[in-house]
C-alpha cells in the first residue's frame, strides 16, 4: 500500500493505523504497561527531542533493545510518531476504523440482496440521516453562548462566534495556554517578521512564528496549525 500511495498520490504522507499498531504492540510485547507507554510516544503531541528521550527511556526501562518487532517498527517512525507527522493534515484521522465507521453506517442502511434501485433508495435514507446530524450540530453551535473562561474575553467571544461549538471547545485550551507564551525576540526580513516565542520566557524551547506581509500569512515552526487546522498557542500569543 505504501508503494502504491507514493506512486498514485505523490506528495501525500502514508500514515500507519494507530489501532493496528497498538494491537500489534500488545501481541508482540505482551505487556499492557509497555503498550500504554508506546501509545503515549506515538500519539503524544511532543517535540522531537522529547519523543526521542521518551523512546530511549521506554526501550531501556523494559529492556527490549533486541526485540525485532520493536526495532522494525521504530525504523518506520515517520509513518506513526505524531511529532514526525506534524505539518501533514489528516482531518483528525488516526485509525482506519474512522473510515470503517462510515462503511458500518452504510452497512446499516443497505443489504447485499438489494437491487440497484433499492440500494439508491436506502442510500438516500442514509444521506438524510447524515444531513440531519449536520443540521443538529449547526443548531447546537448557534444555540446560546458558552460561558467565557479566559481573561481575553473579546478574543474568546470572537472564537465562539466564528467556530462551530465543537471546534471552539478544542480551541479554548489553546487560547488558555497562549497566556503562558512570551515573545522574547523578533527579526525583520524583506517582507516578513519572525517572532521568537517561549513558554514563560524560558529559552529551552523556542518556536518561530513567521508573519509574511505578502498574503498576510502566518505560520509557526511547530506546524500544529497545518496538522490540526487550528492555530497553535504560539501564533495566538503573537496575534494577541
Ligand atoms: Zn506553534
Q: How far is the CA of 19 from the centre of ligand 1 (A)?
A: 27
CA of 231 to the centre of ligand 1 (A): 7
Q: Specify the pLDDT at position 142.
A: 83
Query: 226, 225, 224: which is closest to 47 by C-alpha?
Result: 224
Give the C-alpha separation, 12 to 179, whole Å. Answer: 35
237 CA from centroid of ligand 1 (Å): 9
Domain residue limits, the chain = 2-85, 97-142, 153-239
What distance in angstroms lies between residue 155's CA and the mean position of ligand 1's atoms? 18
The CA-atom distances, in angstroms, between 203 and each of 62, 182, 197, 207 are: 32, 10, 9, 10
Please list all protein residues whose beta carbon sits less than 5 angstroms from ligand 1, which is an ion. 207, 220, 222, 232, 234
3 alpha carbon to ligand 1 midpoint, in Å? 32
pLDDT of 196 reads: 96
Q: 31 C-alpha to center of ligand 1: Å?
A: 35
Cα–ligand 1 centroid distance for 179 (angstroms):
13
Sheet holding 181-188, edge to edge: 181-188, 192-199, 207-212, 217-220
Contact between 155 and 168 (Cβ < 8 Å): no
pLDDT along the chain (240 residues), means of 10: 89 90 93 94 89 95 93 94 88 76 85 94 94 89 83 87 90 93 93 93 87 86 88 91
Distance 177 CA to ligand 1 centre (A): 11
N residues, the chain: 240
Distance from the CA of 73 to the center of ligand 1, in angstroms?
28
Amino acid at each position: 500500500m505504501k508503494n502504491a500511495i507514493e506512486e498514485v498520490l505523490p506528495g501525500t504522507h502514508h500514515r500507519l493505523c494507530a489501532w493496528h499498531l497498538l494491537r500489534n504492540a500488545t501481541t508482540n510485547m505482551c505487556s499492557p504497561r509497555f503498550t500504554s507507554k508506546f501509545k503515549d510516544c506515538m500519539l503524544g503531541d511532543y517535540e522531537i527531542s522529547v519523543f526521542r528521550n521518551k523512546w530511549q527511556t521506554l526501550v531501556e526501562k523494559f529492556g527490549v533493545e533486541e526485540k525485532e518487532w520493536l526495532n522494525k517498527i521504530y525504523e518506520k517512525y515517520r509513518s506513526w510518531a505524531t511529532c514526525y507527522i506534524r505539518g501533514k493534515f489528516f482531518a483528525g484521522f488516526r485509525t482506519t476504523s474512522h473510515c470503517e465507521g462510515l462503511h458500518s453506517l452504510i452497512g446499516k442502511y443497505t443489504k447485499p440482496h438489494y437491487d440497484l434501485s433499492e440500494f439508491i433508495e436506502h442510500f438516500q435514507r442514509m444521506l438524510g440521516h447524515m444531513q440531519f446530524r449536520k443540521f443538529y450540530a449547526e443548531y447546537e453551535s448557534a444555540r446560546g453562548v458558552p460561558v467565557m473562561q479566559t481573561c481575553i474575553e473579546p478574543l474568546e467571544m470572537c472564537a465562539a462566534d466564528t467556530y462551530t461549538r465543537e471546534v471552539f471547545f478544542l480551541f479554548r485550551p489553546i487560547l488558555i495556554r497562549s497566556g503562558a507564551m512570551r515573545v522574547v525576540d523578533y527579526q525583520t526580513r524583506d517582507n516578513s517578521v519572525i517572532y521568537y516565542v517561549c513558554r514563560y520566557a524560558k529559552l529551552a524551547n523556542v518556536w518561530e512564528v513567521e508573519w509574511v506581509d505578502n498574503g498576510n500569512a502566518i505560520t509557526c515552526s511547530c506546524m500544529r496549525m497545518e496538522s490540526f487546522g487550528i492555530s497553535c498557542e504560539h501564533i495566538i500569543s503573537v496575534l494577541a
